[in-house]
Amino acid sequence: MIHVPLRILAAVNTVLLRIGRNVAWVALALMVVVILLQVFFRYVLNSALAWPDEAARFLMLWMTGLIAPSAYRWGGFVAIDMLPLALPRLLGLLLNLVLLLISLSVLAMGLKFGWDHTMGFGGNFNSSSLRIPLDLFGGEMVRVKLRYMYASLLTGMALLFLVNIELILRTLMAILSPDRDTPPTDEPVGLPMEAE
Amino acid sequence: MLIWFLPVFLVLLMVGLPVFFALLFAPGVLLWLNGQERDIALLYRNLYNGMDSFPLMALPFFMLAGEVMNRGGITVRLVEFSQALMGHLRGGLAHVNILSSILFAGLSGSAVADTSALGSTLIPAMEKNGYSRKFAAAITAASSVIGPIIPPSGIMIIYAYVMGESVAALFLAGIVPGILVGLGLMLMVRLLADRYDLPKAERIVSRGQEISRLESAVSFILLRMNVAGVLAAVFFGVGSFAGGIDVNGWLVFLLFLPVAHLILMRIRHSVSHDFRVVCKKAVAPLQTPIIILGGILIGVFTPTEASAVAVFYALIVSFFVLRSMKLSDLSEVLMKSSLASATVLLLVGAAVAFKTVVSLSHAPELLADWILGLSENPLILLFLINILLFVVGMFLDAGPAIIILGPILGPIFTDLGVHPVHFAIIMSVNLTVGLATPPMGLVLFVASQVSREKVETISKAILPFLAVEIAVIFLITFVPAISMTVPRWAGFVQ
């Protein structure tokens, strides 16, 4: 019963998160390039550029929003998991379920306020320095709206929400029918998930 | 009413809710019960604004630089270099382990990376040399806590950002404490060497060392430039160049280049060929911390820019000089670093959101009253805080712990007259040592993975080293000069 939706959701998440991760690493690479440009222009050519600071932050926000959900899926969010591990199996799973529901409520609120934040009044403003220089190609110069930046966290919330539902289904599966196979999480082998 | 968010938060944390969600849920739910719906929107906004930061960008960059450097060859080079310097002492490889950790700390800001990289090379080597496996694993874990104390350091970037301190000041303040931890551990090895008759080792492991012509040339130039730079710094008086270097400075630097060459040529004649090559092979990797710290010290870079330059340097070295990386490795390295940094960035954002509610709730005042009710003497309070931090460090990673406790404890001690930078170092050292403390110390688990020795066994073997580290913590706590001298000297702290 849970098996089918879990399988579908897991497949969807696998695709979405793969895309997210690939955009994220490119974003990190671009961040390095942008900051190096800034250093080069300021110290070598002696004329500071206006946009690298904001562009790099833009990229960092999107990197975070797009790759953090993968970390969540693979258990990379730091937690003190002594109690769930110390409890008997079933009790531990039930506790996990409660914790996942709490997380889900946080993410639901995150989606609501993220939507307001992104689509609201503030998102309409133009970024102070970011422009898409279409005028170089004969078009009109487009100013980047703050909304495009705000959307990074909203996207992150949405992906985390999907992952959270998948984790809930997985826990339910483990409680109700522990013998059935669960779909793969797409986690690469031997990837240490700790930051410090 | 709102003050209840703190106990709610702690309970949620203890039962296993991920820190990120606990940081948002506890204040959010109480604001909601209080009918302050508008402040919940503020919570979200601060989560976003907390991540939208230029100084914070140093975090993914330093992780990336460390990851690139770590890719191939570099660990072995550092270990061989350390061995050439200290292998002949009694307990040689244990000393080598500690020295490698100190050097490695300048490349990466992470204790876990340190344990897994050095452990996989040194633990087998130590076993072959006659050490017990548990001892080898214990010294690897114990020395790896130096990683986040010596710059660059992930937790110091986080602390500086959340608390509004200068990253550069914290970096500089961490140098001496980190080296002190290393020296303390070496002293303990010395004592144990007498007791257990720990063996000496060869200084040079493999004879007939080779070095590529390009790398040899690069090391040749870098070495001379570094020595000349140090001479010029001594000539002008250290600290006088914090505002940048003028033309005279560069001229003196150029004048010192031939002097540096002569000095190095003199040393060259007194050492063997293999020793020379081993040292030469360590030059390119070890230039990274010099670029980072030098750039920040001279005022050329902000820490974020320094971290990006470090990535650039690491890429150049590993692609063209060491040839230890292929283009196809690049995406994996980038993905690993962005994955690790994204979780930390989210946490930092959540901490900034949490912090706003902390100040709305008057919790710091109440907590400060309570703490000051215990004692008015800063020294006694610092002692108590050491114990608290140590216990927290046993259960929680240093990064999240610093994010949670910094905003609560920092202001109290600053009011008592403890310098913010000094307090930052106390917190960082305390919490990183917690990483190697049983029962939940993260690096213990990593060391156990690398060595295939049980965590319990390593936990016992690590006790003498932990005793040393605790002693160093107290030393750092009660002698502010240990942390404050270097940043004062360089003009980053008044």
The distance from CA B381 to its chain's CA centroid, rounded to whole angstroms, is: 26
The model's pLDDT over A118-165, given as tens digits with 9 standing for 90+, comes to 888 777 777 777 776 666 666 666 777 788 889 999 999 999 999 999
The model's pLDDT over B67-115, given as tens digits with 9 standing for 90+, comes to 888 776 678 888 888 888 888 888 889 999 999 999 988 887 788 888 8
Is residue A109 within 8 A of residue A158, CB to CB? The reply is: no
pLDDT (0 to 100) of residue B77: 84
Q: Which residues of B touch A67 (CB under 8 A)?
A: 335, 338-339, 342
Of B28, B41, B345, the CB nearest to A64: B345
Contact A77 B18 (CB under 8 A): yes
Task: Give the ipTM.
Answer: 0.91
- Contacts of residue B480, defined as CB under 8 A and 6 or more positions apart, other chains included, come to B418, B419, B422
Q: Which residues of A touch B344 (CB under 8 A)?
A: 195
d(CA B179, nearest CA chain A) in Å: 19
Contact B305 A103 (CB under 8 A): no
Of B24, B45, B305, the CB nearest to A106: B24
Contact A195 B340 (CB under 8 A): yes
Q: What is the dihedral angle through the alpha carbons of B434, B436, B442, B447, rounded to the nearest 10 degrees?
A: 180
pLDDT (0 to 100) of residue A192: 46
d(CA B49, nearest CA chain A) in Å: 10
Q: What is the dihedral angle through the alpha carbons of B55, B166, B381, B433, rounded to the nearest 10 degrees?
A: 60
pLDDT band at A194 (very low <50, low <70, confident <90, very high): very low
CA–CA separation, B185 vs B99, rounded Å? 10
- Direct distance between the N- and C-terminal alpha carbons of chain B, in angstroms, rounded to an integer: 40
pLDDT (0 to 100) of residue B138: 93
Of A96, A110, A191, the CB nearest to B336: A191
Contact A113 B41 (CB under 8 A): yes
Count contacts between A and B (CB, < 8 Å): 190
- Alpha helix positions (H), B210-246: 213-236
Contact B14 A76 (CB under 8 A): no
Of B15, B18, B44, the CB nearest to A83: B15
- Searching chain B, which residue's CA lies closest to the CA of residue A160? B21
Taking 80 as the threshold, does the pLDDT of residue A52 lie above it? yes
- Searching chain A, which residue's CA lies closest to the CA of residue B313? A36
Is residue B227 within 8 A of residue B263, CB to CB? The reply is: yes
Q: Which residues of A touch B16 (CB under 8 A)?
A: 79-84, 95-96, 99
Contact B54 A36 (CB under 8 A): no
- Rounded to 10°, the helix B330-360/B58-70 angle is 150
d(CA B324, nearest CA chain A) in Å: 19
Contact B395 A77 (CB under 8 A): no
Taking 70 as the threshold, does the pLDDT of residue A195 lie above it? no
Is any Cβ of chain A less than 8 angstroms from the Cβ of B304? yes
Contact A195 B304 (CB under 8 A): no
Contact A57 B337 (CB under 8 A): no
d(CA B202, nearest CA chain A) in Å: 33
pLDDT (0 to 100) of residue A172: 93
d(CA B399, nearest CA chain A) in Å: 7
Sequential pLDDT tens for chain B (494 residues): 667 778 888 899 889 899 899 999 988 888 888 888 778 888 999 999 999 999 899 999 988 988 888 776 678 888 888 888 888 888 889 999 999 999 988 887 788 888 888 888 889 889 888 899 999 999 999 999 998 999 888 889 999 988 888 888 999 999 999 999 999 999 999 999 888 877 887 777 777 677 778 888 888 888 888 888 888 777 776 555 555 566 677 787 888 888 888 888 888 777 787 888 888 888 888 888 888 888 887 777 888 998 999 899 888 888 887 777 888 888 888 998 999 899 989 999 998 888 877 777 777 778 778 888 888 788 888 888 888 888 888 777 788 888 888 888 888 888 888 899 999 999 999 999 988 888 778 888 888 888 888 888 999 999 999 999 999 999 999 999 999 988 888 778 87
SS3 at position B145: coil
- Alpha helix positions (H), chain A: 3-39, 52-73, 82-86, 89-119, 146-176
Q: Which residues of B touch A113 (CB under 8 A)?
A: 40-41, 43-45
Interface list for B 400-419 with A (CB within 8 A): 400
Is residue A143 within 8 A of residue A82, CB to CB? The reply is: no
